[in-house]
Chains A and B, each alone.
Chain A
Amino acid sequence: MLGFLKEPVVVTAKINVNLVALTMMGLISRLWGLCYPRAVVFDEVYYGQFVSLYMKRIFFVDDSGPPFGHMLLALGGYLGGFDGNFLWNRIGAEYSMNVPVWSLRLLPALAGALCVPLAYQILVELHLSHCAALGAALLILLENSLITQSRFMLLESILIFFILLAVLSYLKFYNLQKHSAFAGSWWFWLLLTGVACSCAVGVKYMGLFTYMLLLATAGLHFWHMIGDQNLSNVSLLCHFLARGLALIIIPMGLYLSFFYVHLALLYRSGPHDQIMTSAFQASLEGGLARITQGQPLEVAYGSQITLRNVLGKPMQCWLHSHTNTYPIRYENGRGSSHQQQVTCYPFKDVNNWWIVKDPGMQQLVVSNPPRPVRHGHIVQLVHGITTRYLNTHDVAAPLSPHSQEVSCYIDYNISMPAQNLWRVEIVNRESDTDVWKTILSEVRFVHVNTSAVLKLSGASLPEWGYRQLEVVGEKLSKGYHQSMVWNVEEHRYGKSQEQKEREVELHSPTQMDISKNLSFMAKFTELQWKILTLKNEDTEHKYSSSALDWITMDTNIAYWLHPTSGAQIHLLGNVATWASANAAALVYLCLSLWYLLRRRREIYDIPEDAWQLWMSAGGICGGGWAVNYLPFFLMEKTLFLYHYLPAVTFQILLIPVVLQHLSDHLCRSVLLKSMFSALIVAWFSSVFFVYCTFSPVTYGQPALSLTELKALRWKDTWNILMRKQ
């Protein structure tokens, strides 16, 4: 029974000292003096506001990416006990005492530090020598740009960490494939690949590129497995399903869960509310929810409503009218109907209220029981304050002359009859019920006489229209567009017969109680769509650069400047590393082409296993560089040097691959080999020298004098800040 005691309990530990040492050095280089400078550095001003909003649980939309990265930064703030009270308004502002700078910057710095051992492991898993792997890790360690980027509250180092983790776990998984398929560790690394991929995508959409690369690699490897006649069809199917589950289903689920946590955390209304639909706004605490709480759900004949345009661009606005009329002649000489203006007004106003009227009846109150309006019903819309009918006719609109003017009808007795019948079309009606609902229904108003559709043109009217937005009847309606869709935001059942009473009623706030809840999937779809489609207009920036500038590092970004001394922080790569990475990529490309052509003529220069290694290592490192870099040439957004960092990380990993290949296969004699090793040592010391030279602008200390700064300006295009004394 106690047989196990017969043997002594032995714990054998194998510690890879390389790995430990690298991790230690990584931590030291990234964490040293993390709190310095105690001021807002570059994009901290941008991410910081989101951290504050997380702390205050206020909802926001950030079009720069999905929320996981922001949440990680906020986690740092949460652990440090940050209360969110800091005004993130300018770069260089001193942090107040309540901001836990160290813990806010800790996570990115840790992620950056762990990239060093990850690089080592990746090259080992690619079957390169430990010496090459050590070289790769040291290059990452001494890369100034990666150090700068990881020492502040920024997302790139976290992104790079997850990307490298995904690559490493896939390689581990692939190497386990041959002898221990479906074993515990096999599953672990496979699942970790999926998890790391979705984390990378969740931090920044750039992670998608690496995810695609890994999917393609997995696809290629699986294709080779299909050709393997030893595997039965059933085991092939199992392999396929396991990969599908781990690499597609789980990442998607995780990605959804990021949004779930995001939406669960942020439940208060905030500055970005107006971007979202009314239904979404109503689901947040405060804001619109306070107003719309407890409105009647179904719009009925006699309902008093405000109509919001669904598009929300150029700003959110409500259908509006006021007593002023269109000018008889516009500035360009065209005439108008001179009837009452109908506009879209970006502020809440009593003139935004409209009453839904049944054309067949006179009364403007809701009958008992209420008769709900359904899809396809014909209604008239009466402006609450002026009791005029919404009307459109074949007159050119003020600013969009190929659309119809929309007005509130005034009878001038000039044989221009009222055309005020509108058909209600509910765009998002469900199959079972087609009743027009407050907030939830998106409605098009189709004019019965001319089949024009009520549309927000987006142009703002001149002085006579108080710069409100133009509303037109679109005749050539080409399918669905959000500018033609409206939804009811505020709603109450009208009770007053008389105009005077009604005015009082319109001025009074709506009050009733039913709460509305959107499902998580509906919220997710909407938020995701807004993140993808939101466009920031003004995109010029002093330090923006083009993708071509990055390879040669013709550009830099000044992150921070000390208010009095010359101490400053720049995003600036290690010139020696970048140049050699470019050279390595070039050599790799030329050699591969050469080998490929020669192999096609059946001349084999290197042994088969060396060729396999060359292709797989190049596929991961070179491919990683290509997929993370080339897409930027197709992008139209503002680009910065830091967008290149994931690509350059992969490119740096390529250097040892190429060097080892050169020394193994091209240096045939011993003399050559030793000369090559000497060269490598010399080159490595130059990398270290450059690192030391630029470390003052990487860490921001010590402060440099003017002449020292001038000496650092190795390229004319670098923007090193010199204070005039």
Chain B
Amino acid sequence: LNALFSTATETRLQAGAAGARSPREPPARPSRGAEQIGYYDLCFVGVFFSSWDETHFGKMGSYYINRTFFFDVHPPLGKMLIGLAGYLSGYDGTFPFQKPGDRYEQHNYIGMRGFCAFLGSCLVPFAYLTVLELSKSLPAALLAAFILIFDTGCITLSQYILLDPILMFFLMAAVLSMVKCNSCADRPFSASWWLWLSLTGVSLAGAMGVKFVGLFVVLLVGLNTVYDLWDLLGNLSLSLVMFGKHLLARVLCLIVLPLALYTAIFAVHFAVLNRSGPGDGFFSSAFQSQLIGNNLHNVSVPEHLAYGSVVTMKNLRMAGGYLHSHWHLYPEGIGARQQQVTAYLHKDLNNLWIIKKHDSDTDLSDPSSPVEFVRHGDIIRLEHKETSRNLHSHQHEAPLTRKHFQVTGYGINGTGDSNDFWRIEVVGRKTGKLIKVLRSQVRLTHVATGCILGSSGKTLPKWGWEQVEVTCTPYLKETPNSLWNFEDHINPKLPNISLDVLKPSFAEILLESHMVMIRGNSGLKPKDNEVTSKPWHWPINYQGLRFSGVNETDYRVYLLGNPVIWWLNLVTIGLYLLITVCTAVALKRGVQLTSELKELSRVVLRAGGQITLGWLLHYLPFFMMGRVLYFHHYFPAMLFSSMLTGITWDAVLKFCAGFLSPSTTARRVYGGGFLALVLLILYSFYLFHPLSYGMIGPMASNPSSPMAGLRWMDSWEF
């Protein structure tokens, strides 16, 4: 096992180093220039894999070292570990990670890559041990391990600063400890039983903490535990008290412990990242007041809204933006040609609005006039501070959401018409109550048409500066889209209070960050006309991902599974289904089996079933996901598929050998079969290793390229 481990690690580390040494030209093509513009748009994820994910997660590692707050759609553990690895290996967090292909120069990045590569190499011994434990067959375990060592996809994926090797590490660790724990079932409550059970819990927390995909392995372990408990319940020699102990132990190790660890990860995350950074805008105002350097940090504002106050309004939907207007008009043909009103994610002077009474135009900034508070149910006017136009709506269709009404800025110097009147209402409050800054959730109803001010979340085209559309919706549903809160509040006549009262509890922060992450994930929708990876592409290795380099002169790395291995895996799944059905029917029909065959059928049904369940759980849910998918999402499922290959071929060869009576022939068939499989894998690795260790020269579509003969599918682009 040791030998296995070191070779795997070496392969990977070598690869990492080789990748780093080779020259890499920054992509200076004119056509790629504009890619980096919208980095904080959620759609940036759509761009990053056109080259490397490394810029993304490496940057987040730097954020931890610099303690600046950021937002990502995945839970924080993976990035925290990357940051830690970088910190320990002397990386100072100053490399900008701006665009794929930038040179690292003097920056010390080897630690981060080495860490990921190390975790990636651990997959091999884990798979080896899992299969060995399940099938009790050394050849099966070796075959599974060989597959993972020599799969170009697994190698490529673990060479760089990515979350996937970390995720797969925890995932396999969970599976291994679950299997180990199952084998300890005959001596429950022994030390090793407790060890493996709690290790399962720890790995589950780890897997969940890296990516939400970890949820699938939680499901796998959960189903396995339910099956286990059902078995115990049927065992009448076990008293109910003992059963209760079993149940309690599992609840403790598999629910309480992972939850505690998972929460702890977030506690560390929020404790480390205490400075304002690029992720602020995604979170609520209350949350932002926690971050050092944010303009809401340690400030004091007047508590209750009064007429004449200057305010900013933030939409309550995730990343909803501030109500915004600017001097530009809606273009011709899109509603009335009046001033645009949008939602804007960044802080800006154009987000400021003045609250005025609907019926009087007196100058409220006059210090002598008495303070008059805005109350729930009042009819108000909102005047844009910079342009002195009133927030206005009318029965023209909105630019993108055609069933809603358009919202514009109207009037000159604050004089408009009756379409500028809005009724302000606080959710869940009675008439006459005051309106609180930050804490009140406010709804603005247009008096003339009865519609509600809201943000649709759709991005406007170029003419709207790609800000978010604001509409007035006639559907009176209560959603965060149509709720707002007041964030900044300036009124010199009112006393200020400190915002510390707003401080959210840890539970609230945890809940909010999960809401933000979940919405962020489901917000990653593919655009029309964009070619995306489909789940059915993956098992057939239909198409890879370009990791670096586009042109002939570039040093190119292409994430693609070793096709021989992947197709072997694919065939094996069919083969496995076939022998499972045959075995199950034979057993059901009461066919008498020899003891060897009985053992074999037990391995096929029980062990194979567990692994197949893992594969299904990590693969099928992707068919139902609406978000953008990538090829690398299949790798967790691929691990299960590889282990299944080991188990299935072992069973098939044993079965074939069992028919040949002389033991020497049987052994020869069995050994020969394995040797053939291993040699096949080795040879295919020799053929395809340039995919992960880097290629240079003409593209494979060019017949003169050394890789031209290997382009077995037209969809591969190396």
Taking Cβ atoms with an 8 Å cutoff, the residues of A that contact B are: 223, 226-227, 229, 311, 313-314, 331, 334, 394-397, 399, 401-404, 451, 455-458, 462, 475-481, 483, 538, 540-542, 597, 600-602, 634, 636
Contacting residues, chain B, for A223 (C-beta < 8 A): 588
Contacting residues, chain B, for A313 (C-beta < 8 A): 528-529
B529, A600: Cβ atoms under 8 Å?
Answer: no
Q: Can you list 28 A-B pairs with a CB-CB distance of less than 8 A? A: A226-B588, A227-B588, A229-B590, A334-B33, A396-B30, A401-B31, A401-B32, A401-B33, A402-B31, A402-B34, A456-B529, A458-B529, A462-B462, A462-B463, A475-B31, A476-B550, A477-B717, A479-B542, A480-B715, A481-B529, A481-B531, A483-B529, A538-B402, A538-B403, A541-B475, A542-B475, A600-B230, A634-B624
B236, A397: Cβ atoms under 8 Å?
Answer: no
Q: Which 4 A-B pairs have the closest CB atoms?
A: A458-B529, A401-B34, A481-B531, A396-B31
B523 interface residue (CB < 8 Å to A): no
Of B50, B233, B473, B589, the residue contacting A226 (CB under 8 A) is: B589
Distance of A451 Cα from B705 Cα, bound (Å): 15
Distance of A481 Cα from B542 Cα, bound (Å): 14
Q: A311 to chain B: closest CB distance in Å?
A: 7
Interface of chain B, helix or strand or loop or mixed? loop
Of B32, B543, B585, B626, the residue contacting A478 (CB under 8 A) is: B543
A540, B589: Cβ atoms under 8 Å?
Answer: no
Instruction: Tell me the chain B residues, 231-247 only, with Cβ under 8 Å from chain A.
Output: 233-234, 236, 240
B35 interface residue (CB < 8 Å to A): yes
Contacting residues, chain B, for A399 (C-beta < 8 A): 462
Q: A451-B701, A600-B234 are in contact. Are A396 and B33 (CB under 8 A)?
A: yes
Of B236, B240, B528, the residue contacting A602 (CB under 8 A) is: B236
A403, B34: Cβ atoms under 8 Å?
Answer: no
Q: A540-B475, A597-B233, A602-B236 are in contact. Are A397 and B528 (CB under 8 A)?
A: no
Distance of A623 Cα from B413 Cα, bound (Å): 65
Q: Mark B578-593, 1 if CB is under 8 A from A, else 0.
A: 0000000100111000
Q: A593 to chain B: closest CB distance in Å?
A: 12
B29 interface residue (CB < 8 Å to A): yes
Q: Which residue of A lies closest to B543 (CB)?
A: A479
Q: B558 to chain A: closest CB distance in Å?
A: 12
Distance of A395 Cα from B33 Cα, bound (Å): 11
Q: A227-B588, A227-B589 are in contact. Are A402 and B35 (CB under 8 A)?
A: yes
Other than the given A483-B529, A542-B474, 8 more pairs (CB < 8 A) read A226-B588, A331-B462, A395-B31, A404-B31, A480-B715, A540-B403, A601-B240, A602-B236
Distance of A624 Cα from B462 Cα, bound (Å): 50
Q: Mark B702-718, 1 if CB is under 8 A from A, else 0.
A: 00000000000001010
Q: Mark B381-411, 1 if CB is under 8 A from A, else 0.
A: 0000000000000000000011100000000
Q: B247 to chain A: closest CB distance in Å?
A: 12
Contacting residues, chain A, for B326 (C-beta < 8 A): none
B667 interface residue (CB < 8 Å to A): no
Distance of A458 Cα from B530 Cα, bound (Å): 9
B589, A402: Cβ atoms under 8 Å?
Answer: no
* Most chain A CB atoms below 10 A, which of B34, B236, B590: B34
Distance of A600 Cα from B475 Cα, bound (Å): 52
B546 interface residue (CB < 8 Å to A): yes
Contacting residues, chain B, for A483 (C-beta < 8 A): 529
Q: A227-B589, A538-B403, A600-B233 are in contact. Are A314 and B528 (CB under 8 A)?
A: yes
* Most chain B CB atoms below 10 A, which of A314, A334, A601: A601
Of A451, A475, A479, the residue contacting B715 (CB under 8 A) is: A479
* Most chain A CB atoms below 10 A, which of B31, B233, B527, B588: B31
Distance of A477 Cα from B474 Cα, bound (Å): 42
B34, A396: Cβ atoms under 8 Å?
Answer: yes
Distance of A401 Cα from B27 Cα, bound (Å): 14
Contacting residues, chain A, for B585 (C-beta < 8 A): 226
B528, A394: Cβ atoms under 8 Å?
Answer: no
Distance of A404 Cα from B550 Cα, bound (Å): 14
Contacting residues, chain A, for B403 (C-beta < 8 A): 538, 540
Distance of A693 Cα from B54 Cα, bound (Å): 66
Contacting residues, chain B, for A331 (C-beta < 8 A): 462
Contacting residues, chain A, for B546 (C-beta < 8 A): 476
Q: B33 to chain A: closest CB distance in Å?
A: 6
Contacting residues, chain B, for A462 (C-beta < 8 A): 462-463
Q: B534 to chain A: closest CB distance in Å?
A: 9
Distance of A403 Cα from B33 Cα, bound (Å): 11
Distance of A37 Cα from B552 Cα, bound (Å): 72
Instruction: Tell me the chain B residues, 673-718 only, with Cβ under 8 Å from chain A.
Output: 699, 701, 715, 717
Contacting residues, chain A, for B240 (C-beta < 8 A): 601
Q: B524 to chain A: closest CB distance in Å?
A: 14
Q: Which residue of B lies closest to A546 (CB)?
A: B477
Q: Which residue of A lies closest to B715 (CB)?
A: A479
Q: Which residue of A lies closest to B234 (CB)?
A: A600
Distance of A462 Cα from B462 Cα, bound (Å): 9
Q: B580 to chain A: closest CB distance in Å?
A: 14
B401, A538: Cβ atoms under 8 Å?
Answer: yes
B233, A395: Cβ atoms under 8 Å?
Answer: no
Distance of A248 Cα from B236 Cα, bound (Å): 43
Q: Mark B530-551, 1 if CB is under 8 A from A, else 0.
A: 0101000000001100100010
Contacting residues, chain B, for A601 (C-beta < 8 A): 233-234, 236, 240
Q: B589 to chain A: closest CB distance in Å?
A: 6
